[in-house]
Amino acid sequence: MGLWGKRDDTVVHEERPFNAEPVPDALDRHDVTPVDTFFSRNHADIQQLDPDAFRLDVDGLVERPLRLSLAGLRERFAVRTVVATLQCAGNRRAELAAARDIPGQVPWGPCAVSTAEWTGAALADVLAAAGLRPEAGHVAFLGAEAFGGSIPVAKATAREVLLAWGMNGAPLPPVHGGPLRVVVPGYIGARSVKWLRRVTAQERPSDNRFQARDYRLLPADADPAEAAQGHGLSLGVAALNAAVLCPQEGRTLPAGPVRVSGYAAAGDGRAVARVDVSVDGGRHWRQADLGEPAGPWAWRRWRLTVRLPPGTAEITARAWDDSAAVQPERVEHVWNPSGYMNTAWSTVRVTCVENGDGRSCGG
Ligand code: MTE
């Protein structure tokens, strides 16, 4: 077992802070990602908090501020379970950085995304118990190491947003924000604040630096070091994205039928409608088979068998959502200085050999 209970073959970009993603083969195996495979994104050290001493403050524009222990949360509110995909806004940054340098940022591959079954209380129920006041426009979250952010009230009061203490049927481990985190399905992972200490109802969006300065999409010609607070587009709702996980980039495979598979995920309020696969650079497309989603907030896993002749091949996938939005073609079209939201078509390059004995996926 690797660091923080992750699989031995996990790609560890940094040990401190711990930033790690699974290899594509491992991520591609499950609808609900095992905890040892789930990616982890941290901006500071992982917090090790005592669940018994833990308290959550709910304050700001509420009639009755609350201070809740973990036991209090469990006893007072209905327990809910939601299967939800979390995707980091920096997922697939390495492909952007290959087009144009992105210094000082974690070079995520296509696996800074995972899906878990989260258990906890609906944030809506907790806000109702506190008496959310009508002037509140946003609900801000603060973690124990000062990471924070906010979401609009309309989302905060939606049933799917959880204050979660459980992950895949076990207590939420410290590496994923235990004892308590927010889970905001349909939003970038940064809004799912870990080691949650404080929930504040307020008029305006959070001025925490991880919302006011970071996780903002700057125009391609901006310098992130010079950008003023509040500059650029504040990221919140996730964007439509998809990636090929299998075969993995650079593999050598037997020519003939090759199984291609991966994931697709839509943003808040949208659903993945179709995934297309091309083996000729986008001139012709075939539709992949979409797997049944594990829930309305979970990714769609997809697969298709294509025929590849001997030689090098490029396999490309793109997803469509139910508004007929489709992923943009090239990374150059979405490149931005901090390398967020790479939603471009996903391409892997492989070599096919006659009478080869490799497999497209798995060990
Ligand atoms: N919460 C805290 N307190 N500190 C963090 O660094 N990282 C955020 C979010 N919540 C972060 C946090 C980001 S950017 C992402 S993508 C997700 O947590 C990652 O969650 P995970 O580590 O459980 O995969």
Q: Is residue 361 part of a domain?
A: no
Q: How confident is the model at residue 336 (pLDDT cuts 50, 70, 90)?
A: very high
- Residues 127-156, mean pLDDT to the nearest whole number: 98
Q: Is residue 226 part of a domain?
A: yes
For residue 229, what pLDDT is reported?
75
CATH of the domain at 75: 3.90.420.10
pTM greater than the 0.95 cutoff: yes
- Chosen domain end from 207, 234, 261: 234
For residue 36, what pLDDT is reported?
98
In the sheet with 346-353, reading across from the earlier edge strand, the strands are: 252-254, 346-353, 311-321, 272-278, 286-287
Best probe residue, ligand 1, of 192, 208, 216, 340 (max atoms within 8 Å of C-beta): 192
Our answer on whether the CB atom of 336 is closer than 6 Å to any ligand 1 atom is no
Which residues lie across from 243 on neighbouring strands?
263
- Answer yes or no: is pLDDT of 10 > 70: yes
Q: How confident is the model at residue 227 (pLDDT cuts 50, 70, 90)?
A: confident
In the reported structure, the alpha carbon of residue 111 is separated from the centroid of ligand 1 by a whole-number distance in angstroms of 15
Our answer on whether the CB atom of 143 is closer than 6 Å to any ligand 1 atom is yes
Q: Is residue 179 part of a domain?
A: yes
For residue 14, what pLDDT is reported?
98
In the reported structure, the alpha carbon of residue 190 is separated from the centroid of ligand 1 by a whole-number distance in angstroms of 5
Ligand 1 atom closest to Cα of residue 87: 16
| Portion of the chain with pLDDT greater than 70, in percent | 98
* pLDDT (tens digit per residue) in 244-265: 999 999 999 999 999 999 999 9
- Chosen domain end from 203, 234, 265: 234
Q: How confident is the model at residue 363 (pLDDT cuts 50, 70, 90)?
A: very low
Q: How many domains does the chain have?
A: 2
- Residues 96-108, mean pLDDT to the nearest whole number: 97
Alpha-carbon span 234 to 253, nearest angstrom: 42
| Portion of the chain with pLDDT greater than 90, in percent | 95
For residue 285, what pLDDT is reported?
98
Enclosing domain of residue 19: 3-234
Q: How confident is the model at residue 223 (pLDDT cuts 50, 70, 90)?
A: confident
Q: Are 177 and 194 found together in one domain?
A: yes
The per-residue b/e assignment along 211-233, b for 16 or more CB within 10 angstroms, e otherwise, is bbbbbbbbeeebebeebeeeebe
- Answer yes or no: is pLDDT of 58 > 90: yes
Alpha-carbon span 77 to 55, nearest angstrom: 15
Residue with CA at minimum distance from ligand 1 atom 14? 190
Q: Is residue 363 part of a domain?
A: no
For residue 362, what pLDDT is reported?
57
Q: Are 92 and 24 found together in one domain?
A: yes
Alpha-carbon span 27 to 39, nearest angstrom: 9
Ligand 1 atom closest to Cα of residue 42: 6
Best probe residue, ligand 1, of 13, 18, 39, 88 (max atoms within 8 Å of C-beta): 88
**Phi and psi (nearest 5°) for 28?**
-75, -5
